[in-house]
Amino acid sequence: MSESVQEFDVVIIGAGPGGYVCAIRCAQLGLKTAIVEKGKTLGGTCLNVGCIPSKAILESSEHYAQAQHELADHGVELGKVSLNLSNMMKRKDKIVGDLTQGVAYLMKKNKVETFYGTGSIVSTGVVQVAGETSATLKAKHIVIATGSVPIELPFMKFDGKFIVSSTEALKFEKVPEHLIVVGGGAIGLEMGSVWLRLGAKVTVIEFADKICGPADKQLSNDLMRVLKKQGMEFMLSTKVTGAEIKGKTVTVNFESVSDGTKGSVQGDKVLVSVGRKPFTDGLGLDKMGVKLNERGQIVVGEHYQTSTAGIYAIGDATPGAMLAHKAEEEGVALAETLGGGVGHVNYNTVPSVIYTWPEMASVGASEEELKAKAIEYNSGSFPFTANARAKAIGMTEGRVKILADKKTDQVLGVHIVGPRASDMIAEAVVAMEFGASSEDIARSFHAHPTLAEVMREAALAVDKRVRQM
Ligand SMILES: Cc1cc2nc3c(=O)[nH]c(=O)nc-3n(C[C@H](O)[C@H](O)[C@H](O)COP(=O)(O)OP(=O)(O)OC[C@H]3O[C@@H](n4cnc5c(N)ncnc54)[C@H](O)[C@@H]3O)c2cc1C
């Protein structure tokens, strides 16, 4: 254990996408910067137990499913396809390892001092680090980027074996017989897809009358239809009330939201993916007068300033979408403000993606939101079935839907279910960032034959000018 007292312009607590990106930008702007991380590796939830490992096994499991069900159609015959789960997991772990080391390298390259240990704010401008490194850090500015943890249901506590969070569902040692997923949002659907493709029966129980959280209802239903075809089972408007473990079986009890009818379902693993909550334990926020809201999120005002001068907060620990790119953009905006400039994040253009196959991606308002706000809009939509590239790939499920202001034609929302929707949504984000109209998209070149042409056709459809069919 080493002891030291060092002075910095900025000390950031938490090295997830919010924290480490903020640190790099602070350092680039000439601020003497330190980052404190309680985990063994940098990168936070996203790199260690979130975005990256989940996408690695989503990709691998999709290859497995294609080898089993689709390649023969392309004339590629493999014979009997078998699963080597341990190799699949090793590949995932290597990707995570490479990327977390990459972040450590970036810290060094940008001269950000890294302290491994738990950080707490002990007095104005002072962060105490306890753990692998023991240090007292003095800072003009303190940034809290401590992220979030999975929400636990009080009547169904995580035991890490039968009732698990996404962290354990990323590393099951064998394919479950029957995985019950509580919560039909992004994480539940992604992890459900992985294990479904690898051979598990998967049942998703969702409290709401639709999956995909606040996403556009029509497209959420489109995605559910395709996932059902793949074999995923859904119980909507269903409230989970408890679970009992006997031997190797978990019985999950539920009741219908509409009429209270009770029932139960049995499986060998239960993934509880009902959301995440901010993590601020042990930071000393109470003592420092940093206010939290009723959801435990750190309240921030202009430029991510908390209720206490000199302390800022970004990412999952604060209100708003719990997404890596939201945390990153806030990190950059805050760094630019601390560096003497003016940082800005356009919250109207935060894209969200569900990496199932097909993927679902959206940006801006859904039809339900526009209706609720009485905003008049035109809608144009175009299916992937009518797109040449989608046919060549053999992935024709889904559509692009564009919602544009009725008077000005400005794009208000874009929603995609389809192949590579995660990449396609970038065009919609840029269009919205620049205040584009649907006609702007319709008049822009889109190379042929590409999936992106579906975006253009949807834009033409807003003006009822669809050409391809
Ligand atoms: C399974 C899963 C899949 C996901 N997939 C995606 C996706 O595809 N795309 C996407 O955009 N988002 C995804 N997310 C969400 C994404 O991971 C988070 O939104 C993102 O990581 C938030 O970044 P952050 O920097 O705010 O916090 P985090 O990434 O949570 O990082 C916070 C860090 O702070 C550290 N910390 C906490 N307290 C202290 C302390 N007192 N001292 C020192 N260190 C501390 C933690 O150890 C952690 O490393 C996924 C999440 C999960 C769980």
427: nearest Cα among 457, 407, 397: 457
For 233-259, what is each residue's pLDDT tens digit?
A: 999 999 999 999 999 999 999 999 999
In order of 50, 85, 106, 450, the CA distances from 93 in angstroms are 12, 12, 20, 33
CB 63 within 8 A of CB 194: no
User: What is the Å distance from ligand 1's center to 235 Cα?
Assistant: 29
Which amino acid is located at 238 in the chain?
Answer: T
Known active-site residue 448: yes
For 182-235, what is each residue's pLDDT tens digit?
A: 999 999 999 999 999 999 999 999 999 999 999 999 999 999 999 999 999 999
N-to-C CA span, the chain? 68
Average pLDDT, the chain: 97
Query: What's the CA gap between 73 and 395, in Å, rounded?
Result: 12
Q: What confidence score (pLDDT) does residue 1 get?
A: 45
Assign 468 a pLDDT band (cuts: 50, 70, 90): low
For 268-300, what is each residue's pLDDT tens digit?
A: 999 999 999 999 999 999 999 999 999 999 999
Q: What is the pTM of this model?
A: 0.97
Assign 4 a pLDDT band (cuts: 50, 70, 90): low
Average pLDDT over residues 92-99: 98
User: What is the Å distance from ligand 1's center to 50 Cα?
Assistant: 7
Whether the per-residue pLDDT at 2 is higher than 90: the answer is no
For 442-455, what is each residue's pLDDT tens digit?
A: 999 999 999 999 99
Nearest-atom index, ligand 1, CA of 39: 47
Among 51, 115, 134, the mutation site with the greatest number of ligand 1 atoms within 8 A of its Cβ is 51
For 124-180, what is each residue's pLDDT tens digit?
A: 999 999 987 799 999 999 999 999 999 999 999 999 999 999 999 999 999 999 999
Average pLDDT over residues 64-92: 96
168: nearest Cα among 53, 275, 251: 53
List 63, 74, 344, 448, catalytic entry: 448
* Whether residue 16 has its Cβ less than 6 Å from ligand 1: yes
